[in-house]
Amino acid sequence: MNFKDQLASIAPAFSYNHGHLEAGGVNLSEVIEAAKGPVYVYALDSVLENFLGFKEAFSGQPTRICYAMKANDCVAILKLLSDVGSGVDVVSGGELALAMSAGIPADKIVFSGVGKSDSELAQAVNAGVMQINVETAYELGQLAKIANSMGKEAPIALRVNPDVEAGTLDQISTGRATDKFGIAYQDAARLYMEAEKTPGLAPKGIAMHIGSQIGDTDFLAAACAKLRSLWESLATSGVKLERFDVGGGLGIRYKNEDPPLVQAYADTIKKAVSGLNAEVVLEPGRRIVGPAGVLLSTVISVKEAAGRRFVILDAAMNDLIRPALYKAWHEIVPLTDPGKVQWTPADVVGPVCESTDKFADQRPLPPLLPGDRVAFLAAGAYGAVMGSEYNSRPRAAEAVVRGGNWSFTRNPRSYNDIIREQHAPSWL
């Protein structure tokens, strides 16, 4: 496939105009020029379209979409989604605080996470979140104590581990009995019964999340079927639930995958809950923001060694860790249309002192010279949020584009920003 067709199939919001890569009517060279370093760019229209795709596909089925902000916590995206009725799924007190500061109402927030501290539980109860997805019997006990001491009742779902495969990478599978996530399937009914009788706890729903980058709806259907039978047996024992939270996980195209259409996904879920009179809760992350974002970077230098072409970028594994961590594939395209030139293999690497700081191995690319710019595609999810300042490299900036406008949403950081945040003790 030619690289422009590939671009269109992975990141349809991005295209070449007069030879320059553009999104939202903005020439992306302008953004990286201003950032003076690696920068993530998110096309807001694309984020919106992806969200509305879920909304439409689930029409006719009472559904709450709680965007999983762990995928991308850019406040402009939170605001954009909140304005069209989205809730959020948070996994830490920090995300809860950020979501609320971005104006997401507490009653649209699901608090997930395998280990919540007492202070995070108190924060969630105090804020009045819609639902806390409880992952252990211990957490259930703590939550009851905390809610009681505050004179409140915590709306809960148990995140049940359905013990199914997700057909995705080992590192991002979460629904097998041996994974660290959720309450063991065989313990769930008992805990629901206990919760039902415990002051301070209000069982509202059942929850699952079997993994991320799921490419086949059959895995989801199998997990839903297990939760459905639990839901039904609970109903006969007097525990009447309202919400069926299927988590997130729908995959996207990074290379040549053919992930399910959102409509096929919706049909699977609707079928799985039909007749239950349940409100469906969705926690999509990657599918909403992944294709809408790119990471822009500049070539620092190029070299030939051992018969290989090395392209050394100013972005590194601290900016985009997915290739180093999961051997994940991110398509790389030049910011300027190279025209009809020969593409030849190159190892694309960052400047960090680690061999795993490598974005691509023998990847066909056009000729690239120092100062040339490239974009990593489908980097809108689990990109910036997983960034670090390893090697004292300032975190990448972030920007949004829409309707010919662009703005930084996270300013380029300076060395002083890094220096300011540390101090040696006065007694040293």
Q: Which residues sit at the interface with ligand LLP, rule CB under 6 A? A: 68, 70-71, 89, 112, 172, 209, 212-213, 247-250, 283-287, 322, 381-382
Least Å distance, CB 15 to ligand LLP, is: 25
| Cα 89 to the center of its chain, rounded Å | 10
Cβ nearer to ligand LLP, comparing 70 with 253: 70
CA 106/CA 169 separation, integer angstroms: 33
Distances from the Cα of 192 to the Cα of 138, 188, 202, angstroms: 13, 6, 10
Residue 12 per-residue DSSP state: T
Cβ nearer to ligand LLP, comparing 312 with 385: 385
CA 31/CA 20 separation, integer angstroms: 12
Cβ nearer to ligand LLP, comparing 89 with 314: 89
Collapse the DSSP code of 341 into the 3-class scheme (helix H, G, I; strand E, B; otherwise coil) and give the result: coil
CA 95/CA 107 separation, integer angstroms: 15
Least Å distance, CB 283 to ligand LLP, is: 4
Cβ nearer to ligand LLP, comparing 385 with 418: 385
Is 353 assigned a catalytic role? yes
Least Å distance, CB 423 to ligand LLP, is: 32
Least Å distance, CB 334 to ligand LLP, is: 24
Least Å distance, CB 92 to ligand LLP, is: 11
Collapse the DSSP code of 294 into the 3-class scheme (helix H, G, I; strand E, B; otherwise coil) and give the result: strand
CA 332/CA 358 separation, integer angstroms: 13
Q: Of the residues 66, 74, 224, 353, which is catalytic?
A: 353
Task: Using the structure block, give the residue that is written with the tokens 């948070």.
Answer: 90
Cβ nearer to ligand LLP, comparing 209 with 226: 209
CA 410/CA 74 separation, integer angstroms: 8
Gyration radius of the chain's alpha carbons: 23
Listed residue (13, 37, 8, 33) closest to 25, CA to CA: 13
Residue 281 bridge partners (DSSP): 64, 245
Name the residues annotated as catalytic. 353
